[in-house]
């Protein structure tokens, strides 16, 4: 291991990160400690994390419950001023926050800048929404009576997020939740604790009252136990979760027992259909970005390219060439992707290779598995052994029978399948049971619209990749990808407000609905 003097660089000391209940960092670590490392330089600690336990989670929910009433009493346009200040602060700290995201989760710096921009866009959108939390006036079936609807906050929202988008995806929950007058308990991913803490601090510096946002740094199981207890004690009114289908299903069951419908944003096996008339260069570019960007560790990553038989060979060879030529490596340089975020994802990737390599031809790189000095990649920037870097892998000849077709990988591995009829393409695009994102490349508006009608994904791209959500468009999936809930834009308001109906009778009589209807 090289020391700071040998490399000539000063090491940035690891910060200590802890849960924040009522704004104050916890001093104890009842759930133990962990080191959040830089995945591109495993020897470098980004943060020492003091972990909370199930009781920490419950305590955070109590603090949120206590703070919520007062926050809800602040007029929405004034709450929006806090959101506006948070957005401006994030903008001011854009580069620093993006650098921290890259250091902690290893995504290329350009992507981290984009991720931080997404928070700013979200704040901008909801600043306006604070002046637009509209209700309705509704005609009554009786005279001298008027009906109204109001949006009211849900109460306390518990939000649990993944580390692949450690700041943007949390902001999709946190910003609308607080704008709508809720208090939040947020549990970031353990391996993205420092980025989560930095974001929370910007919320507090923006003027968010302590207790309206509480951050719990904890492991998954402790969080689950804490959530179970908090739901049992009636301390949580809404759960938001972004993560795996497996954990999301457990959370859904738990919430169901408490008559709650959570907001679940789960995995994907996102297809990209290449029609015979597709612009192949564009399709290859889209497949490269969504298949291998963030090392395939996005819920919107491309799972299987579904290619018409007439262009299959040509697509595969151009895709193979593009992937071979793409630079991989140090995420502070201009690369397609950097290291795997964590060892867990790396091991899962290796497991996939074992499963497919005997039955399929692999393309995309000179080697397979981990990139090392002995198993090198030509277009690699930096020191391959400093982090867990993987060879990009294209698996040709995938069919609907393959495990790789059916299950999310969360790694740099993309299947390519062949189809002959449009019906087959639709069947392959839907048959895995996920329904997050899908793409079709075609010059025909008719085919694109027919595909739109038949695809089960919540989000569809025509002539663009499967990734790339915008902050004001509904984000979410169906089937194994979620429970139909949507984040972003006005659609997320359905998650963080409930409709309250009011009738106002000024007739001076008791007018009974359905019974005192005037006759014509």
Distance, CA of 261 to CA of 252 (rounded, Å): 7
Torsion sign over Cα 327, 328, 331, 332: negative
Find the shortest distance in angstroms from Cβ 468 to ligand UN1. 5
Find the shortest distance in angstroms from Cβ 308 to ligand UN1. 25
Pick the piece of the chain touching ligand UN1 (CB under 6 A) from 215-223, 224-232, 298-306, 367-375: 298-306
Pick the piece of the chain touching ligand UN1 (CB under 6 A) from 55-63, 129-137, 297-305, 359-367: 297-305
Radius of gyration of the chain measured on its C-alpha atoms? 25
Pick the piece of the chain touching ligand UN1 (CB under 6 A) from 39-47, 71-79, 125-133, 463-471: 463-471
Question: Is 169 a residue that touches ligand UN1 (CB under 6 A)?
Answer: yes
Nearer to ligand UN1, 419 or 441 (CB): 441
Find the shortest distance in angstroms from Cβ 187 to ligand UN1. 15
The token duo for 57 is: 């989670």
Question: Is 365 a residue that touches ligand UN1 (CB under 6 A)?
Answer: no
Nearer to ligand UN1, 65 or 298 (CB): 298
Question: Is 389 a residue that touches ligand UN1 (CB under 6 A)?
Answer: no
Beta strands in 161-237 (DSSP E): 183-187, 213-215
Find the shortest distance in angstroms from Cβ 467 to ligand UN1. 3
Distance, CA of 148 to CA of 458 (rounded, Å): 31
Cβ neighbors of 337 (< 8 A, separation 6 or more) are: 107, 108, 292, 293, 294, 295, 296, 328, 331, 392, 412
Nearer to ligand UN1, 247 or 469 (CB): 469
Nearer to ligand UN1, 390 or 439 (CB): 439
Question: Is 217 a residue that touches ligand UN1 (CB under 6 A)?
Answer: no
Question: Is 119 a residue that touches ligand UN1 (CB under 6 A)?
Answer: no
Instruction: Write out the binding residues for ligand UN1, residues 236-255 only, by CB under 6 A.
Output: 242
Active site annotation includes 265: yes
Give the H or E element holding residue 505. Answer: strand 497-505
Question: Is 98 a residue that touches ligand UN1 (CB under 6 A)?
Answer: no
The token duo for 353 is: 């290779």
Pair 295, 340: CB distance under 8 Å? yes
Q: What is the DSSP string of 223-268?
A: HHHHHHHHHHTT--SEEEEES-HHHHHHHHHHHHHTT---EEE---
Beta bridge partners of 157: 184, 238
In degrees and rounded to multiples of 5, residue 347 shows phi and psi of: -65, -35
**Which of the following is catalytic: 265, 325, 334, 385?**
265
Pair 263, 238: CB distance under 8 Å? yes
Choose, by CB under 6 A, the member of 433, 468, 474, 484 that binds ligand UN1: 468
Pair 360, 411: CB distance under 8 Å? no
Q: Give the dihedral of Cα atoms 40, 42, 43, 48; nearest 10 deg.
A: 110
Q: Side by side, which strands form the sheet with 41-50?
A: 15-18, 41-50, 33-38
Nearer to ligand UN1, 323 or 469 (CB): 469
Pair 71, 82: CB distance under 8 Å? no
Question: Is 192 a residue that touches ligand UN1 (CB under 6 A)?
Answer: no
Print the SS3 string covering 349-401: HHHHHHHHCCCCCEECCCCCCECCCCCCCCCEECCHHHCCCECCEEEEEECCC
Question: Is 299 a residue that touches ligand UN1 (CB under 6 A)?
Answer: yes
Nearer to ligand UN1, 357 or 478 (CB): 478
Tracing tokens 């866009």 back to the chain, one arrives at 121
Choose, by CB under 6 A, the member of 300, 368, 393, 497 that binds ligand UN1: 300
Count of residues that bind ligand UN1 according to CB under 6 A:
10
The token duo for 460 is: 């569809």
Torsion sign over Cα 487, 490, 491, 492: positive
Nearer to ligand UN1, 72 or 469 (CB): 469
Find the shortest distance in angstroms from Cβ 48 to ligand UN1. 26
Other CB atoms within 10 A of residue 502 CB: 11
Instruction: Write out the binding residues for ligand UN1, residues 469-498 only, by CB under 6 A.
Output: 469
Pick the piece of the chain touching ligand UN1 (CB under 6 A) from 99-107, 161-169, 189-197, 379-387: 161-169
Give the H or E element holding residue 50. Answer: strand 41-50
Pair 345, 302: CB distance under 8 Å? no
Nearer to ligand UN1, 109 or 419 (CB): 109
Task: Lay out the site mask for ligand UN1 across 413-452 (x = CB under 6 A, - = otherwise).
Answer: ----------------------------------------
Choose, by CB under 6 A, the member of 467, 481, 495, 511 that binds ligand UN1: 467
Nearer to ligand UN1, 127 or 467 (CB): 467
Find the shortest distance in angstroms from Cβ 463 to ligand UN1. 16
Find the shortest distance in angstroms from Cβ 275 to ligand UN1. 23
Nearer to ligand UN1, 164 or 511 (CB): 164
CA distances from 36 to 25, 103, 229, 247 (A): 17, 10, 27, 22
Choose, by CB under 6 A, the member of 165, 173, 346, 419 that binds ligand UN1: 165
The token duo for 8 is: 């000539």
Q: Which residues are catalytic?
A: 265
Site residues, ligand UN1 (CB under 6 A): 164-165, 169, 242, 298-300, 467-469
């Amino acid at each position: 291991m090289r020391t700071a003097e040998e490399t000539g660089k000063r090491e940035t000391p690891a910060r200590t990160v802890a849960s924040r209940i009522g704004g104050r960092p916890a001093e104890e670590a009842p759930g133990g400690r962990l080191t959040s490392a830089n995945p591109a330089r495993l020897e470098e600690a980004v943060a020492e994390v003091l972990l909370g336990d199930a009781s920490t989670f419950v305590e955070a929910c109590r603090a949120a419950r206590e703070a919520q009433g007062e926050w809800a009493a602040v007029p929405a346009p004034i709450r929006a001023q806090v959101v506006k200040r948070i957005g401006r602060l994030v903008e001011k700290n854009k580069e620093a926050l993006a650098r921290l995201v890259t250091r902690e989760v290893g995504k290329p710096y350009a992507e981290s800048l984009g991720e931080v921009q997404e928070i700013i866009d979200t704040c901008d959108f909801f600043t306006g929404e604070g002046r637009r939390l509209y209700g309705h006036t509704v005609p009554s079936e009786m005279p001298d009576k008027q009906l109204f609807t109001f949006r009211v906050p849900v109460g306390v929202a518990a939000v649990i997020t993944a580390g692949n988008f450690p700041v943007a995806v949390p902001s999709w929950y946190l910003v609308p939740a607080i704008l709508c007058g809720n208090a939040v308990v947020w549990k970031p991913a353990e391996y993205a604790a420092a980025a989560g803490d930095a974001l929370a601090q910007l919320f507090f510096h923006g003027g968010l009252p302590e207790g309206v946002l509480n951050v719990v740094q904890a492991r998954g199981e402790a969080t689950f136990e804490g959530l179970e207890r908090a739901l049992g004690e009636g301390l949580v009114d809404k759960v938001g979760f972004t993560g795996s289908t497996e954990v999301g299903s457990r959370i859904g069951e738990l919430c169901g027992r408490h008559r709650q419908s959570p907001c679940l944003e789960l995995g994907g096996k996102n297809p990209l259909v290449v029609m015979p008339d597709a612009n192949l260069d564009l399709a290859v570019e889209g497949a490269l970005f969504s298949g291998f960007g963030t090392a395939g560790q996005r819920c919107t990553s491309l799972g299987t390219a579904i290619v018409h038989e007439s262009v299959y060979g040509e697509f595969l060879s151009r895709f193979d060439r593009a992937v071979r030529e793409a630079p991989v490596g140090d995420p502070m340089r201009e690369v397609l992707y950097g290291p795997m975020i964590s060892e867990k994802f790396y091991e899962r990737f290796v497991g996939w290779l074992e499963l497919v390599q005997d039955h399929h031809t692999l393309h995309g790189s000179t080697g397979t598995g981990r990139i090392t000095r002995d198993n090198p990649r030509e277009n690699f920037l930096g020191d391959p052994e400093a982090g867990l870097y993987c060879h990009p892998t294209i698996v040709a000849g995938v069919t609907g029978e393959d495990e790789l077709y059916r299950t999310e990988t969360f790694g740099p591995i993309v299947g390519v399948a062949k189809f002959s009829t449009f019906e087959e393409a639709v069947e392959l695009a839907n048959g895995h049971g996920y329904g997050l994102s899908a793409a079709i490349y075609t010059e025909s508006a008719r085919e694109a619209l027919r595909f739109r009608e038949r695809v089960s994904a919540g989000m569809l791209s025509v002539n663009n990749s499967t990734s790339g959500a915008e902050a004001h468009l509904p984000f979410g999936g169906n089937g194994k990808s979620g429970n139909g809930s949507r984040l972003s834009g006005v659609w997320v308001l359905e998650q963080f407000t409930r409709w309250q109906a009011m009738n106002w009778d000024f007739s001076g009589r008791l007018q009974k609905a359905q019974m005192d209807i005037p006759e014509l």
